[in-house]
Amino acid sequence: MFFIDTIELKGLGNRHYLAGGGRTAVAVDPPRDIDQVLAAAARRGVRITHVVETHIHNDYVTGGLELARLTGARYLVPAGAQVSFARVPVADGDTVAVDAGLELRAVATPGHTPHHTAYVLREEGRPVAAFTGGSLLIGTVGRPDLVEPRLTERLARAQHASAHRLAAELPDETSVLPTHGFGSFCSSAQAEGDATTIGVEKKVNAALTQDVDSFVAGLLAGLDDIPAYYAHMGPANAGGPAPVDLTPPAVADAREIAARLAAGEWVVDLRNRVAFAEGHVAGSFNFEADGKIATYLAWMIPWGKPVTLLAESPEQLAAAQRELVRVGIDRPAAAATGAPEQWVAEDAALASFPRSTFAGLAARGTDGIVVLDVRRDSERAGGHLPGSVHIPIHELHRRLGEVPAGTVWVHCAGGMRAAIAASLLDAAGRDVVAVDDGFDAAARAGLTVVTG
């Protein structure tokens, strides 16, 4: 008998896996914080003998090299990947024994990257699962535009061919276990559902139901923005990431927090957006710990700029640290826990701003105010408020000067990004109202929504 444990990285929208038999196992696409997969192996009572990468990742820092070092496992990386560390190069058709009667077979599946490789888990020679990385996902495929613009169309065509190869070579009942597709921007679309098989994908996946030209045209037309920090992930992974340090950061008192703000550093408040709006350190930014903090903070912060974290508890701080090391933000400059009253001087007042809904905006009316839409281009194309200013959240920090004068009512699709934007505007001295509401409520509130 074999087992497959799925380990979720909800903040980044990814999964990684531990698969094996009674004694030994293989880890697939592990993230930087490897303690979770080590714990999974301990629960199973197995030894990790192999660590495999489907590709050099663009959206997170791998823990594969460190996991292999700590466990003594063989580290398998596609032979076509240019890396600067020792590894076992994997070519199409290579097989490795995982446990008695259990083996992995490498299948070249270029498309997400030129060297992308899937791994088929076979029990007594019968395929039972395919670890497809960024190739065949649930209802979609990995995006082909993260490597080099000149390669994008070629890789899109390769994605189509790779999907068809997997569909042709594997039985319909084979489980498809991708790394991306659960919120990751490495996916060309969001996964529909939680599990799938080759047979299901043959019926629903555009890569398997459309001819190559139609598929490529649709894929390229639907590509979204690329998070800025992706530019740093590939080089970090190819160079060999250093081990993580998740020990608590140095403690900052109110004086140090003020000094870091005065020096132009980022001070990030991890509390929920309701609490932040009610009272916060003036000049601080709000990235909710329970939101996609790794994606949006890494996307927006100037790379390498020191960041101080403010959290309501040590547990919230530790969780945020874990999220951030996965995307290469290794060590906060400092941190503080508790309440905002503890983070400012005794004679200093807390800053605040109001929150509202689309019904509140409709009741107020849009005359004499600025309505700022911070959704992505693809979201806005599906409907927007006429006359609203559009600056995607990941561009707002460097485009604050483009926001017209006046009170700013800022919205996104659900409220989280609006809260980030409101904190940026508030820190810049603007009068702001955060619309904490789903955009589908705008029309129901009586506001005009237009498309195009």
pLDDT of 386: 96
Tell me the whole-structure pTM to 2 decimals. 0.93
Per-residue model confidence as pLDDT tens digits over 239-288: 999 999 999 999 999 999 999 999 999 999 999 999 999 999 999 999 99
Question: For residue 67, which of 90, 95, 47, 84 has the smallest C-alpha distance?
Answer: 47
- Per-residue tokens: 237: 């992974």
Residue with token string 């019904």: 359
Mean pLDDT, residues 25-42 taken together: 97
- Average pLDDT taken over every residue of the chain: 96
Beta-carbon contacts of residue 395 (< 8 Å; ≥ 6 apart): none
Strand partners, 150: none
Could you count the other beta carbons within 10 Å of the beta carbon of residue 331?
Answer: 16
Strand partners, 286: 269
pLDDT of 190: 72
pLDDT of 347: 82
Give the separation between CA 424 and CA 232, rounded to whole angstroms: 24
Strand partners, 433: 409
Residues in the chain: 452
pLDDT of 162: 98
Could you count the other beta carbons within 10 Å of the beta carbon of residue 257?
Answer: 24
| Amino acid identity, position 261 | L
Phi, psi of 295 (to 5 degrees): -65, -50
Beta-carbon contacts of residue 40 (< 8 Å; ≥ 6 apart): 5, 7, 18
Beta-carbon contacts of residue 329 (< 8 Å; ≥ 6 apart): 294, 297, 298, 301, 307
Mean pLDDT, residues 183-197 taken together: 83
Residue with token string 């800025």: 228
Mean pLDDT, residues 127-145 taken together: 97
